[in-house]
């Protein structure tokens, strides 16, 4: 079915429905804004009409401004009306018909494929959302189970205090014995004993590699502590005057070595906990990578869905455009004539305003 073109001699603007022309104008502006917002590559019918009417308005305004007229000229109106009608008739087109036109058939095939793709992508997006939720739950569970081990502060303080108590008399009797000031002797002995206790406990328990391996400092604390306290024991036994003092010195040394053994036992358990924590951290990193991959896949699917949706909307707009420009050509012609004459009248108003302004400035 061919579109019917309008002849101004048989169809005057007054015979058309004026309200429909006004609605067409407002709808054109609205749809043009919507089309620009969606970023569709196709031009819909309202956009074609809006572009045409804008051009005709500017053409009529330019015609009036260049001619410098102050009142409408019947010759200009006749020429402009004919030009607007001709431009409107150029907008007319055939209906979308895939059986008649090969390009319409190809467009219809692409449209059906896009509909199928959109349905498949919609299902894939649903699955990807479920996958993301599952990955988030897995990551939350892994994070909750991956608490970092903490050295037992109470044990470290207690062990360091006990070791300091056992070492103070030895420091007083053997290391600082040459000091004449006994108060200074006890003070230095106490400070030295506290430092020794602090060194041993922090080296064995407080310095553990995040991978669970023994560090150089922990080796130094263990070996240095054993050698140091064995040496202190030998000094005590060497100065013992009887079997009672020998037994006391031996018991004190056994207590010190026992504390070191306790610290090392607890450090071994802590190293095992660190190894477990390190393995869980690797598991958490893996689950984070899986979650990031799931989010990236979801974003990719949504992008493909939006592109498919735009393609479908583009096809619908095309069919609608050709339908409007086929059946509503009379209203389009009326709108085109109105636009070009509105522009012409706007140009005349501009000429009058410019002349009035020039005359006023001359009088002043």
Residue 38 has pLDDT above 60, yes or no: no
Residue 214, beta-bridge partner list? 208
pLDDT in tens, 172-191: 888 888 888 889 989 999 99
CA angle 57, 59, 64 (to 5 degrees): 100
Residue 46 has pLDDT above 60, yes or no: no
Residue 60 contacts residue 344 (beta carbons within 8 Å): yes
Q: What are the angstrom distances between the C-alpha of 25 and each of 85, 234, 334, 357?
A: 16, 108, 11, 33
Measured between alpha carbons, how far apart are the two ends of the chain, in Å?
Answer: 65
Residue 64 contacts residue 347 (beta carbons within 8 Å): yes
DSSP string computed for 192-224: HHHHHHHHHHHHHHS-B-TTSPBPHHHHHHHHH
Look at 44-58, 257-271, 291-305 and tell me which has the smallest mean pLDDT: 44-58
pLDDT recorded at residue 355: 82
Listed residue (107, 84, 91) closest to 28, CA to CA: 91
DSSP code of residue 82: H
Q: Crossing angle of helices 182-205/153-170, nearest 10°?
A: 140
- pTM value > 0.75: no
The arithmetic mean of pLDDT across residues 126-149, rounded, is 86
Select the more confidently predicted residue: 103 or 363.
103
Task: Read off φ and ψ for residue 214, nearest 5 degrees.
Answer: -75, 135
Q: What is the rounded average pLDDT for all residues in the chain? A: 80
Tokens of 137: 């739950």
Cα–Cα distance measured from residue 125 to residue 308, given in angstroms and rounded to the nearest whole number = 13
Cα–Cα distance measured from residue 228 to residue 265, given in angstroms and rounded to the nearest whole number = 19
DSSP code of residue 8: T
The arithmetic mean of pLDDT across residues 194-215, rounded, is 79
Residue 302 has pLDDT above 90, yes or no: yes
pLDDT recorded at residue 154: 87
Cα–Cα distance measured from residue 156 to residue 204, given in angstroms and rounded to the nearest whole number = 9
Task: Give the count of alpha carbons within 13 A of 309, CB side only.
Answer: 10
Select the more confidently predicted residue: 244 or 91.
244
Listed residue (89, 116, 169) closest to 333, CA to CA: 89
Tokens of 87: 């431009």
Tokens of 68: 């410098």
Q: Which helix or strand (DSSP H or E) is residue 320 part of?
A: helix 243-327
Domain map (residue ranges) of the chain:
145-299
Cα–Cα distance measured from residue 335 to residue 277, given in angstroms and rounded to the nearest whole number = 76
Q: Is residue 109 packed enough to be buried (19+ CB in 10 Å), middle (13-18) or exposed (0-12)?
A: exposed
Q: How many CB atoms lie within 10 A of CB 45?
A: 24
Select the more confidently predicted residue: 338 or 3.
338
Residue 208, beta-bridge partner list? 214
């Amino acid at each position: 079915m061919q579109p019917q073109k309008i002849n101004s001699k048989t169809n005057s603007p007054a015979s058309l429905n004026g309200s429909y022309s006004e609605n067409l104008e407002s709808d054109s502006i609205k749809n043009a804004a919507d089309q620009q917002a969606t970023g569709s590559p196709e031009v819909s019918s309202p956009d074609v009409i809006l572009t045409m009417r804008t051009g005709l308005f500017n053409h009529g305004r330019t015609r009036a401004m260049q001619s410098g007229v102050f009142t409408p000229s019947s010759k200009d109106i006749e020429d402009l009306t004919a030009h607007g009608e001709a431009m409107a008739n150029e907008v007319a087109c055939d209906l979308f018909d895939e059986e008649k036109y090969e390009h319409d058939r190809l467009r219809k095939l692409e449209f059906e494929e896009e509909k199928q793709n959109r349905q498949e992508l919609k299902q894939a997006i649903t699955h990807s959302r479920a996958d993301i939720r599952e990955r988030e739950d897995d990551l939350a569970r892994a994070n909750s189970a991956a608490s970092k081990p903490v050295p037992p502060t109470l044990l470290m303080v207690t062990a360091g205090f006990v070791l300091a108590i056992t070492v103070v008399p030895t420091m007083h009797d053997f290391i600082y014995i040459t000091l004449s000031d006994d108060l200074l002797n006890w003070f230095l002995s106490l400070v030295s004993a506290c430092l020794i206790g602090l060194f041993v406990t922090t080296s064995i328990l407080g310095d553990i590699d995040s991978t669970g391996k023994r560090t150089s400092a922990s080796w130094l604390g263990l070996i240095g502590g054993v050698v140091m306290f064995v040496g202190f024991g030998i000094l005590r036994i060497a100065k013992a005057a009887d079997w009672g003092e020998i037994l006391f010195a031996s018991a004190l040394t056994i207590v010190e070595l026992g504390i070191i053994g306790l610290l090392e036992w607890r450090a071994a358990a802590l190293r095992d906990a660190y190894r477990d924590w390190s393995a869980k951290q690797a598991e958490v990193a893996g689950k984070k990578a899986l979650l990031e991959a799931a989010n990236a896949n979801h974003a990719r699917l949504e992008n493909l869905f939006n592109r498919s949706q735009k393609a479908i909307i583009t096809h619908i707009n095309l069919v609608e455009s050709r339908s409007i420009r086929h059946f509503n050509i009379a209203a389009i012609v009326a709108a085109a004539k109105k636009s070009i004459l509105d522009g012409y009248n706007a140009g005349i108003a501009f000429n009058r305003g410019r002349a009035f302004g020039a005359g006023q400035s001359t009088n002043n």
